[in-house]
Amino acid sequence: MTTASHGLPAYKDSALPVDRRVEDLLSRMTLEEKAGQLFHSMLMMNPDGTPVTETDGSILPFTTPELIEGRFLTHFNLLGSYGAREMAMWQNAVQEMAAATRLGIPVTLSTDPRHSFTDNVGASFNAGAFSAWPEAIGLAAIGDPELVFAFADIMRREYLSVGFRVALHPQIDLATEPRWARQSGTFGSDAKLTGELVQAYVRGLQGEELGAGSVSAMVKHFPGGGPQKDGEDPHFAHGKEQIYPGGLREHHLEPFKAAIAAGCSQMMPYYGQPIGTDWEEVGFGFNKGVVTGLLREELGFQGIVCTDWGLLTDSVIFGEKHPARAWGLEHLSTAERTARSLEAGSDQFGGEQCPEVIVELVRSGRISESRIDESVRRLLREKFVLGLFENPYVDPDAAAQTVGRADFAAAGAAAQRRSLTVLTNTGGILPVTSGPASGKPKLYVKGVDEAVAAGYGDLVSDPAGADLAVLRLRTPHEPRTNIFESFFHSGSLAFPEPELTEILTLLDTVPTLVCINLERAAVIPEIAERAGALIADYGASDAALLDVAFGRAAAEGRLPFELPRSMEAVAASRPDVPNDTVDPVFPYGHGLRL
């Protein structure tokens, strides 16, 4: 424990080397304060920018003061969408709360993706106040590392303005199982392209090296979460198995090697339980052979390893019980699971807030305090490198001017247009020019905002009286009764009856432009055959679609995964092998130019 020349504790002296500051702070911490650092939990905020000081326990079991002042947590991800000024005000209030604690360790705030169209409380939020871009899968459809770098740099500036210092992304799993719910957050099925894009993404967020102007990138989900059995997601017990029948385990590591080479600061192992490999059959967050043996020792990763959310304790989400995602270790106690994850090499537990378990593990002799110190050093070091001890506060006025700034929004809108992928133009209806009589086509629209469409044609209510119909669809999925699971679109990729017949009836009535949002690889052979034109989107506004349809903007996208011909072909494919279905309707990389 040392004191700087001007009387401040050494850890508060910005002139001293980071490692000295870390050791000084570590030496001052109680075991309870150290334990608090090992948890990266969730917060919500009141809409007016004030911290939550009351909770009904339906989503968050503790209030903000209980977590910061009572449990010594200093790492949080924010749930929900809010205004930029309010987010900035809230983060300042949270930092003030942290500054008032004994050691004044600043809070590190993180977020799931916030720049696109998907709204899933367990994975991402729609753009809201932020600039709106295609999903990551749409950036893959464009395939331009320079654009991804520009996007990540804009994201960095928007995040910094409201106080987010860790991005719980990018997600670089390979989209090799067509049914898997998380594909829209990936860069598609190609490992080489994913590697190129993740390097641009990490450098856009972090810069050439991590510093005061950086947002730390938590890359996920190591060692690649794409090969899920039957495409089910391991957030849920029925989706816990990860399999490699095609023998391509190493192939899924390629993007992570690229991310490490780019200097990513953090890594998140996935929930999945590997089956039928030489890895221990326990979830990756507990898997020493994967976290220490592969990630740390073989691949040389020296950064922070944070588990995915909810590995240790059972939880209640939307009033429904969910078991801890301790796949393969369900029989262990919370303390035993925690010890196994620490022994595996994890530094931090996502979505948990039980530091008392760490304290008891150390006091019982099950885990050494030196092991805890090892992880706390990494976590504190990043706070110092990010400049949080010097400048934890943000300017709400600047946040309001930065988030969703006109040039950022325009860049996102342009990317939406570029990402659109023209799959067919069988009827030669694109680009739309004019109607046969008035010069302005009569449009019938479904799934399209009529106020937007009115700027492109005269709207009619009966498709039989239209020159052109524009129909927007989403990839089908099977509804799940569990509220939380219902956000993760899984199961069949084919349109069920009577919905398919209704779609085809429209296509047979009037020349129709069909635009389908490909959050997964939809099975649409009949629609592809009978649509006048077919476009894929990955997060794009109605105006973006209509601008491309009417020749006002150019679509550049190419399919980031193949589109299968049938669910039988999907079921017969190998989940670890890219683009493995027989006779796809459209192959990987397909895309027309108008």
Q: Give the separation between CA 348 and CA 362, rounded to whole angstroms.
A: 16
- Give the sign of the dihedral formed by CA 138, CA 406, CA 212, CA 65: negative
CA–CA separation, 309 vs 332, rounded Å? 18
What is the SS3 assignment for 561? coil
Backbone dihedral angles phi then psi of residue 507, each to the nearest 5 degrees: -65, -30
Beta bridge partners of 241: 273
Residues with Cβ within 8 Å of 343's Cβ and at least 6 positions away in sequence, in order, are 288, 367
The DSSP H or E segment spanning 361 is helix 355-363
| CB neighbour list of residue 105: distance below 8 Å, 6 or more residues apart | 25, 33, 37, 74, 98, 380, 383
Q: Is 61 exposed, middle or buried (0-12, 13-18, 19+ CB in 10 A)?
A: middle
Q: Is 526 exposed, middle or buried (0-12, 13-18, 19+ CB in 10 A)?
A: middle
| Residue 498, preceding peptide bond in cis (omega within 30° of 0) | yes
Alpha helices of 122-171 — where are they, by DSSP H?
Answer: 136-142, 145-162
Residues belonging to the chain: 594
- Catalytically annotated residue among 308, 542, 547, 580: 308
308 among known catalytic residues = yes
Where do we find the tokens 């730390």? 216
What residues act catalytically?
308
